[in-house]
Structure 1
Amino acid sequence: MKLALIALVSCLALSVKSYTFVSSVSIPFGIASTGATLPYYHRKNVPVVDVQSTDLICRTPDITAKVGPFVIEAGNNIRVYWASDTPNSPYSGNKPTGPCVFWLSPLEKKGVGKVWSKVHEYTNDGKASGSAWCSAKIDSNGGFYEFNIPSDIIPGKYILRSEIIDLLDAYVSNYDDYAMGAHFYSNCFVLDITGNGTAPLKNPVSILETYKKYYKTPMFPIGTDDSKFTLPGPAPYTTGKP
């Protein structure tokens, strides 16, 4: 009975969760993108809870379809904005709670296979308090998060995958009940990165293979110290480091 009650509560929590997604990107103090993000997709894909589904990559079968690239010079900061429920709504309501992570992949690879390199992540700055999660930082900033594009990467068109991971139900696996487990709020958009860099992306991995371990094991087991939480995948690549 207790397990059934937990499952019911989790289902109810999922049903009222905001449909958080990336609404736009910009350069700080610059002009916001109007065409970089993918169109608003069906709510059934937000959040992704099935870590065996290709929805985990970008929540759309064709991440290159009718998406205008956002031009940014390598080495600049990019600012990613989130909204909730509808494309023009503010970042508000019952938002996810947890870390965020950003990956780059060459556009021509279409996100398939070992093509994703992590370029930035933020959990909670090593703090034990749950209020220090990346999601709280986004909330306090009014819905945006800012990070640096490595200055030495080869110019070209890339897919940027942004993600907030909701850990509310991540004390159980994503296997037994898809209303339980970690909830992945992933979005992709296209960047046209300019500059004179010569470095290829480092440590590329498959998103599906990297997240596969959360298929049958909890991502954030009960009793885990918040400050010791580790995100999926290798350490982020930064300029001049392998």
Structure 2
Amino acid sequence: MGGISTPETHATQWTDSANLPTFANRNVPVYDVQSTDLICRSPDMTFAAKPFAIEAGKNVRVTWSLDVKTWPFVDVPPKGPCAFWLAPVSSKGIGKVWSKIYDYTNDGKDGDETKWCSDAIAAKGYYDVLIPSEIAKGTYILRSEIIDILDASVSNYDDYSMGPRFYPNCLLLDITGTGTAPLKSPVSILDVYKPYYKKPLFPKTVKNSQLKLPNPAPYAPAKP
């Protein structure tokens, strides 16, 4: 992930100071769904980053690249769905603390014509995500996740070079506003994906248009 802004300030106030450090220069995906790397792919959970201020009910613009020509930092571009999660910073992302605020799989087409969430990100270098208006003010971790489904029709139970490739990244938000609600239906990231240690996330029998990401349901309806 490159950084964060709002849609209105993207050109003038983009910042990367809210990012949590990511190991291996953002190039290495997470295969092991039992690893805590799946949470934020970060070697540093001490939160030295500077939170980005955003009002609940507003969009944040999560940026992977200011120049789409440099996307996606890896030789083979990830192809697949994405999701965005929030957790209180005090939790350090551990346990049943994550609430999915948005996810998007694809445009409903099958075969090579399918346009995934990753394609929408690649076209612009960023993605806009709505912070739910009812959320109580405070400091939160925003976790973005792109799932490369190239080998997702198998699990990595027997071969750690196979299975879905997860690209999670995290940054800090200082959410302001008048909301008072706690996060809705919080879950553990590791619990959500634990079943896919031994079974495929994306079975061969499932068409692209039928793919649904694991629960929970997000706050916001899916749209590209």
When normalised by structure 1's length, the TM-score is 0.83
Unaligned runs of 5+ in 2: none
* Contact 2:22/2:43 (<8 A) preserved: no
1:63 CA drift (Å): 2.6
* Pair 1:171 & 2:130 matched: no
Identify which of 196, 201, 207 aligns with 2:189: 207
1:128 CA drift (Å): 2.7
Query: Which secondary structure state, in structure 1, belongs to the residue aligned with residue 2 of structure 2?
Result: strand
User: Is the alpha carbon distance of 1:60 and 1:47 closer, same or farther for their aligned partners in structure 2, counting shifts above 3 Å?
Assistant: same
Cα-Cα RMSD? 2.1
User: Is the alpha carbon distance of 1:83 and 1:178 closer, same or farther for their aligned partners in structure 2, counting shifts above 3 Å?
Assistant: farther
User: Is the alpha carbon distance of 1:151 and 1:218 closer, same or farther for their aligned partners in structure 2, counting shifts above 3 Å?
Assistant: same
After the TM superposition, which residues 23-42 of structure 1 pair with which residues of structure 2 at under 5 Å, given as runs? 23-30=2-9, 31-42=13-24
Query: Which secondary structure state, in structure 1, belongs to the residue aligned with residue 169 of structure 2?
Result: strand
Q: Deviations over 1:61-103 (max 9, x none)?
A: 433331110111111111111149xxxx831452100000000
Identify which of 170, 180, 184 aligns with 2:166: 184
Query: Which secondary structure state, in structure 2, belongs to the residue aligned with residue 42 of structure 1?
Result: helix
When normalised by structure 2's length, the TM-score is 0.89
1:236 CA drift (Å): 0.4
- Name the residue aligned to 1:91: 71
After the TM superposition, which residues 13-52 of structure 1 pair with which residues of structure 2 at under 5 Å, given as runs? 22-30=1-9, 31-42=13-24, 46-52=28-34
For residues 29 and 237 of structure 1, the distance between their equivalents in structure 2, rounded to whole angstroms, comes to 23
Amino acid in structure 1 at the alignment position of 2:199: T
User: Is the alpha carbon distance of 1:105 and 1:90 closer, same or farther for their aligned partners in structure 2, counting shifts above 3 Å?
Assistant: same
Out of 97-106 and 23-32, give the one that drifted further: 23-32
User: Is the alpha carbon distance of 1:129 and 1:78 closer, same or farther for their aligned partners in structure 2, counting shifts above 3 Å?
Assistant: farther
- Name the residue aligned to 1:12: none
* Pair 1:219 & 2:187 matched: no
Unaligned runs of 5+ in 1: 1-21
Q: Sequence identity, in percent?
A: 57
* Pair 1:132 & 2:115 matched: yes
1:33 CA drift (Å): 2.0
How many residues are aligned here? 214
